Structures are given as C-alpha cells and as structure tokens.
Amino acid sequence: MLPKVTLICLQSLDGFLARTQTDDLSWGSPEDKKHFKTKVQSTGAMIIGRNTFDQMGTKLFNSQFVLVLTSQVENYTELKTPNRHFFNGTPLEALKYLESIEITEVVLGGGGNINNQFLASNLVDEIFITIGAKIFGEGIKVFGEKPLGNNLELLSLEKLGKDDFLIHYKVQK
C-alpha cells in the first residue's frame, strides 16, 4: 500500500510560500515551526524538492527520513546518508520507492512545484495549511503554477499562535 501523504505548508494570506527561491521561511511563526516539526517526527519521513533542500537541507531533522526529488541526483551523491536519499522520478514512483522501504506515512514539504505535482497526480491525502500574517503580493505560489482541480473537505480550523490560522483538509479522491 502506498504511504499516506500529508502536505504541510506555510503560506502568506495571498497564497505565497516564499518571496523568492532563496527565502528560508524564517518568516513563519514559532507555532507553525513546532507544528511542522511535530508532524514530521510523528510520520518519520518527508518528501521535499531540490530547491527546498538547497535552502533548508542542513537544517532538516537528521533523525527523520528525507526523500529529495531532483532531476540532478548525480549532483548530490556526496550528501546521501542512510536517512537522506535523492530521487529522480514521478510522484507515484517516489511513493512506490518509499513503500518498498516500508515507509507507510510521509509529510510532503514542498515546494510549490512538488506540491502541484502530487496534487495533480491525486496522491495527497490530507493538507495542513498555516496562513501566516503576511501579504507578499508576489512570490512562489504554494501550489505551483499549473492549474489544479482538487476538492477538499474541511476537517478543522484553529488559531495557531497570536496571528496565524491552521487549516486541516482531507483531499477528496
């Protein structure tokens, strides 16, 4: 059985996860960081894209399994560890790979293009979105640039910290 996929993202009120590719998401609240860390630790595994890894790679949880999706696997061979693998393939192939190493649940941590690919392939089961108290006006869209048509069921909405909201959705399949 394919691993359960929970997409977790932080976005500005106007739908951007970052201003630029070099944004390290430090603008997120401590409460959002705690939520993200708790979810990753509870699943034990995470999928991210190469750009996200390049920005956050050394800051990631070393005790968790991280699968980095990249078409440039050869550029990362020296960074591979038992808990950090680099993978070139489709979202479905990535999940089949995780299934083959007995991972049953994974957090999808972006970026926008990766989020879009998994949603377009109908492989996301749940979404947690933290709406941060920022308006960027432009930047990197949390769900990428390609059109999507996913239907969602609201599971919960809660205030997270002083100014943020955490929204939890189930993706309708």
Q: What confidence score (pLDDT) does residue 156 get? A: 98
Residue with tokens 């909201």: 165
CATH entry, 4-171, from 3.90.330.10, 3.40.430.10, 3.40.50.300, 3.40.50.1360:
3.40.430.10
SS3 content of the chain, % helix, strand, coil (to 5): 30, 30, 40
* pLDDT single digits (tens) 89-131: 999 999 999 999 999 999 999 899 999 999 999 999 999 999 9
**pTM exceeds cut of 0.85:** yes
| Domain residue spans of the chain | 4-171
Q: What confidence score (pLDDT) does residue 99 get? A: 97
142's tokens? 């949390």
With CA atoms as reference, report the closest residue to 141 among 124, 153, 129, 152.
Answer: 129
Arithmetic mean of pLDDT over the chain: 93
